[in-house]
Amino acid sequence: MVIHLFGTEQENNSSPQQEVDAKVQLALEAQKIYETYSQQQVDRIVKAIADATYAKSLELAQLAVQETGMGVVAHKKMKNEVGSKAVYEDIKALKTVGIISENRMKKVVEMAAPYGVVAAIIPTTNPTSTAIFKVLIALKTRNAIVVSPHPYAVGCTKAALEVCEEAAVKAGAPPGLIQCLTQKSMEATQSLMTHPNTHVILATGGGGLVKAAYSSGKPAYGVGPGNVPVYVEKSAKLDKALKQIVDSKSFDYGTICATEQALIVDGAIYDKTLDKLQKLGAYLLNDVEKAKMEKVISPEVGKVNPKIVGRSPQTIAQMAGITIPTNTKIIIGIETKVGKDVPFSLEKLSPILALYKVQSSDEAKSLCLQLLNLGGRGHTLSIHTENDKLAKEFALDLPVSRIVVNTMATMGAVGGTTNLRPSFTLGCGTFGGNITSDNISAEHLMLTKRLSYGVREVSVPSAPVEQIEHFVKSTDTSAIDEALVAKIVEEVIKKLQ
């Protein structure tokens, strides 16, 4: 039985502020109990949530696609599995209760403390996997969590949280640790982020939302957009590289922010690349078709049409009045320019890929920088090469927080095909206006207290007695009053400083 999670019909008919107040209060009360739990109790609860959500991965994927109309069920199932099992495996050994480390040589003891109530904002593109991930890292660190789903994905996010809450309570968690806002209201999200009893914000969404989180006056982890360039350098194993790129770009119809957005290819292998891409299921637009597609991608300069996000290539082609084969996996437009007025150079979050030709790695690097500056600074860069020195050069020179090499950017950046931290919230650092460049995980929701013993003595100089005597001797002691004494003390303190 799920207790205290979404409230009564009467509560759901309340105003956004009333719903936020009620659910934050329930979460706060539960968290005060939960922070007294032992590491064994916490770990048992977190494992129960991971197991339950992993078992429901397919069902939750179906609900997400049904409600949002975005993505592919089989791919969302994989994301749910990463968000549950892979995240759990990564954090399960982390100490989050009591003494977490002790350095006897330095006489410093570190102890874990929770933040309190986490406000979690969930995107429509990954409405169940991100919710599961955030619940796991919040509860692992003895926090409560109040979730604000995307207005277009309230039902599936709510369903995922119900699975989490039921498993948690059965494993011994206090009811109410996991709360979900059910009203489709930006007012409720804003109220949650600024609520007096919200202690930290974990925001995954658009740039406006992240800015709102950072402007809330609360500690906040937000992420920036990911206009990810992928460079196929002439030494790359071309067949493998292109298959990975097509698979990655078509994965869940491009809804992960680490998806490749622009393919940059060395001139020496460009013609082979065009031929191989078509054999892998890519459709290359001609000039007339490209012009039609540009209007669909970005009807307004600098803004991507939300109707293409997470949609199939066939659906998007139909919007543009273009006929493509039924087995098409991605749509490619050959491009030479970068800018807000160049639709193919934007972050499209769909199976649409820009293709650029370069004559050198220096030109490729310059082009990557232009694309990142347009809207992706700090996020992710992908490179396919057998030249390790070149990969490191790109990593050192470009303003990105994660560089994935010879793998799918989509899965590599979130830790699916690399040893990066499994995460659905990818920090962009100050490159992208974020507080961290990390793949956000449980450590980011835990405070560390430090107990430190004195290990060395210091000699504190004595007060300058001669200066005090000077003040006393130069003063008529018969006329000393309290104000004068205060002045003398003040002068002495100034001298000491």
Active centre residues (catalytic): 257
**Comparing C-alpha atoms, which of 36, 66, 47, 57 is closest to residue 136?**
47
C-alpha 230/C-alpha 233 separation (Å) is 10
C-alpha 343/C-alpha 5 separation (Å) is 42
C-alpha 358/C-alpha 367 separation (Å) is 9
Terminal CA-CA length for the chain: 64
133-61-246 Cα angle (round to 5)? 90
Cα 368 to chain centroid, rounded:
22
Task: Give backbone dihedrals phi and psi of 90, rounded to 5 degrees, phi first.
Answer: -75, -35
